[in-house]
Amino acid sequence: MPNRVVNILVPVISVILGLLVGAVVMLASGYDPVAGYAALWNGIFGDSYTIGETIRTITPYLLSGLAVAFAFRTGLFNIGVEGQLLVGWFAAAYVGIAFDLPMYIHLPLAIIAAAVAGGLWAFIPGLLKAKLQVHEVIVTIMMNYIALHTTNVLIRMVANGKETTAPIKETASLKSAFFESMTDFSRLHYGIFIALAMVLVMWFILEKTTTGFELKAVGFNKHASEYAGMNVNKNIILSMVISGAFAGLAGAMEALGTFQYASVKGGFTGIGFDGIAVALLGANTPLGVVFGAVLFGALKFGALNMPNAADIPVEIVSIVIALIIFFVACGYIIRYFLEKLNKKKEAK
């Protein structure tokens, strides 16, 4: 079996295994898996409204997946997407509320603010990794909590002590009257075009530029890259900043598209952590991230229909997603079995 096919088969098998184990869990807990998955299906594709909301859910997943995947390509594990998303969310909402500008300046400004905020938040772990060889996983986890507390304080300040800010100005909104009329007033917004454009941007940076080549080289082998004259430290920081910028944009999608405000949070959104799942499933390639985001975004939104339609807790989908990551992580054993299967066939 060619390597390419195996690379595609591993995530596909993982998804199937994840769904199967999910069905077993439902069966063992006394629920009807067929009714459960039917409710999930209807929750995703039921009518134009659910389709709109599904795409709306996919939008930030695309960006958080890109963020994780981009850092992975340089050999960095950015668990801090969640925190970068939160600061991006706040930055976009703040610009959206505080300024009065014509739309063609205001909207791009709010979006760029989110990307810059996310990038800056990721700059710190990048710098520490490059200069002091501090493991980025620990720093980004800690930065998540700092982001949560910091944005909560800032949001209270902007909202004059209240828990939720005023809505953003219309000139900074990604709201789409056209999509609303098409999807029975779902919250689907123009952000999906930005997310898809970023998929192209990531592909372009990685495949068509010298910078991208260097970033990937550092990911493959730091020492070889250094020997070849590349500035490893600069590339590590750059990779984290670009990754953080993607994460910040995911926050902008929530601030300018879905919610149109920022609010104090008791915990994390989970979009950043699910980005890890998206990136892993997509093998850290731009196109793979699209598939990963579509699958997980759809699963997450569709699951909301499961308690009503089949009386099954929504968490079943989180179990399935966690299992899928687990199986992808155990790719070695799936590859091993595929190879064995292949050898048997060749022997015949």
Of 214 and 274, nearer to another protein (C-beta) is: 274
Judged by CB under 8 A, the residue of 276, 281, 299, 304 near another protein is: 276
- Block residue for tokens 């592909």: 203
Tokens of 227: 């020997």
Of 144 and 176, nearer to another protein (C-beta) is: 144
Query: Residue 317 half-sphere exposure, CB side, CA atoms within 13 Å?
Result: 24
| Minimum CB–partner distance for residue 298 and another protein (Å) | 17
Judged by CB under 8 A, the residue of 2, 100, 104, 132 near another protein is: 132
Collapsed DSSP state (helix, strand, coil) of residue 12:
helix
Stretch that binds another protein, among 23-31, 170-178, 189-197, 229-237 (CB under 8 A): 23-31
- Block residue for tokens 């909207």: 107
Residue 175 main-chain phi, psi, to 5 deg: -50, 145
Q: Is 337 in the site for another protein (CB under 8 A)?
A: no
Angle, helices 210-220/232-252, rounded to nearest 10 degrees = 110
Residue 263 main-chain phi, psi, to 5 deg: -140, 155
88 contacts: CB under 8 Å, gap ≥ 6: 114, 115, 117, 118, 247, 248, 249, 250, 251, 252, 255
237 contacts: CB under 8 Å, gap ≥ 6: 123, 126, 127, 129, 130
Tokens of 224: 């070889």
Of 76 and 168, nearer to another protein (C-beta) is: 76
Of 188 and 325, nearer to another protein (C-beta) is: 325
The contact mask relative to another protein for 46-85 (x = CB under 8 A, - = no) is: -------------------------------x-x------
Q: Is 281 in the site for another protein (CB under 8 A)?
A: no
Q: Is 266 in the site for another protein (CB under 8 A)?
A: yes
Of 137 and 182, nearer to another protein (C-beta) is: 137
Of 172 and 325, nearer to another protein (C-beta) is: 325
**CA–CA separation, 312 vs 32, rounded Å?**
9
| Minimum CB–partner distance for residue 346 and another protein (Å) | 25
**CA–CA separation, 227 vs 12, rounded Å?**
38
Of 249 and 306, nearer to another protein (C-beta) is: 306
**CA–CA separation, 63 vs 33, rounded Å?**
31
Q: Please give the residue ranges that form the binding site for another protein (CB under 8 A).
A: 25, 29-30, 77, 79, 128, 132, 134-135, 137-139, 141-143, 145-146, 149-150, 153, 266-267, 273, 276-277, 280, 313, 315-316, 318-319, 321-323, 325-326, 328-333
